[in-house]
Amino acid sequence: MAAYLIRRLWQMIPTLAGVVLLVFVLFKFFGGDPAEILGGLNASAEQIDAIRQELGLNEPWWVQLWIFVKQIVTFNWGKSWATNESVSNLFATRLPATLTVMMPILILDVVLALPIAMWVAYRRGSLADRTIMVITTVALAISFLVYVIVGQYVFGFLLGWFPVQGWSDSVWNNLITYAPLPVLLAVMVGLAPQTRLYRSFLLDELGQDYVRTARAKGMTERVVLFRHVLRNALIPILTNIGLALPGIFVGSFLIEVFFSIPGLGREVLLAVNRSDYPVIQAVTVYLAVLTMFINLATDVLFKLADPRVVLK
């Protein structure tokens, strides 16, 4: 295990180098002149040249690349061009709001979808199975934007159960007051595809020979499902969860925009609209690093879930 971890960490270095180089090239040669973006339409040539000098854009490209690498290593991206706020402070202040909303969504998606998928997989072909599959198919056909608009109108305006927008400095107050409605709507959207996906994973295992052997030995269905089927289906389930984890740290753009949540997802969207390069670059690089570590953690969990998995 230790040798595998060291080898994977070593392999991350060229991957990260490629990501850094790609981001640098895209923003350097295809992203437009940052000095002209900051200076605006009315800026004179002297002002644009002064901005370029201040940002180090007059330096050779390899010097600019070295500055970019130092920013990554030291976590010092400077300040946002749009708000003049430190990028590191922006991450520290926006990320908690994103996690407050997105963590419950991920947990509820798994906790609710997995039991439902096990229940309908065990009753494959029954009326309950077909009914739930029809409901999930219809749910998949409806846009998330429709859920947001209808949910805000019904639960916010008609019933008055939740505030439509707002946020506070208290994590607990946000969890019980402002987060429930976006979490509820996001879970309603995510439950359908997750249920269908987990059901297919479980059905693949239920058709295996070892399930018939376990039943022939007199094992109860509960033992077959939880001790054998679920354990073997954990590999693709963990893969799906691992793919979803990086999105938690960025958040859902629609959720944060429509519910006025001051999270990282909304900040990234604003940065794109403002051509705020320092923020976009920081999010891109750190999200790539986070994805690599999540993939590594997922591989380790494979080994814990199924000792037969060989890590090479």
Handedness of CA 137, 104, 100, 251 (dihedral sign): negative
* Domain chopping of the chain, boundaries: 2-74, 94-305
- Cα 36 to Cα 107: distance, rounded to the nearest angstrom: 45
286, 43, 266, 95: which is closest to 278 by C-alpha?
286
pLDDT of res. 206: 75
Tell me the pLDDT band of 307, cut-offs 50, 70 and 90: low
Residue 86's beta-bridge partner residues? 79
Tell me what pLDDT residue 55 has: 67
Q: Which residue, 292, 307, 308, is CA-closest to 5?
A: 292
Express each pLDDT in 140-198 by its tens digit: 888 888 888 888 888 888 888 888 887 888 888 888 888 888 888 888 888 888 888 88
d(CA 83, CA 131): 51
**Dist CA 10 CA 69 (whole Å):** 18
Question: CA end-to-end span of the chain, whole Å?
Answer: 9
In the prediction, which pLDDT does 306 show?
Answer: 65
| Rama region for 146: left / alpha / beta (φ>0; ψ in -120 to 50; rest) | alpha
pLDDT in tens, 10-28: 887 888 888 888 888 877 7
- Of residues 200 and 37, the one with the higher pLDDT is 200
Q: What percent of the chain has pLDDT over 90?
A: 0
The residues near 184 (Cβ < 8 Å, ≥ 6 apart) are 151, 155
Helix runs in the chain, H state only: 2-29, 34-39, 45-55, 61-74, 87-122, 127-140, 144-151, 171-173, 180-206, 209-216, 221-223, 230-250, 253-258, 264-274, 277-305
Paired strand residues for 79: 86
pTM value is 0.75
Q: What's the pLDDT band for 1 if we cut at 50, 70, 90?
A: low
Residue of 222, 246, 221 lying closest to 297 (CA atoms): 246
- Whether residue 294 is predicted with pLDDT greater than 80 in this model: the reply is yes
pLDDT (mean) for 195-221: 78
Nearest-angstrom CA–CA distance, 9 and 54: 36
Q: Which CATH superfamily is domain 94-305 in?
A: MetI-like (1.10.3720.10)
- Where residue 276 falls among pLDDT bands split at 50, 70, 90? confident
Q: How confident is the model at residue 204 (pLDDT cuts 50, 70, 90)?
A: confident
The rounded distance, in Å, linking the Cα atoms of 173 and 163 is: 12
- The closest alpha carbon to 79, from 250, 269, 277, 272, belongs to 277
Mean pLDDT estimate for the chain? 79
In one-letter notation, the amino acid at residue 158 is L
For the residues 97-106, what does the mean pLDDT come to?
85
At 100, list the tokens.
Answer: 């407050």
Q: Using one digit for the tens of pLDDT, what is the confidence trace for 109-123?
A: 888 888 888 888 777
In eight-state DSSP terms, residue 41 is: T
Contact 235, 311 (CB under 8 A): no
Backbone angle region of 36, left / alpha / beta, with phi > 0 → left and psi within -120 to 50 → alpha: alpha
* CB neighbours of residue 117 within 10 Å: 23
Taking only the tens place, the pLDDT of each residue in 45-72 is 776 777 677 666 677 777 778 878 887 8
Structure tokens that stand for 168 in this block: 């506070």
Q: What is the per-residue pLDDT for 100?
A: 85
| Integer Rg of the chain from CA | 24
- Per-residue pLDDT tens for 251-267? 677 788 888 888 888 88
What is d(CA 151, CA 31) in angstroms, rounded to the nearest whole number?
38
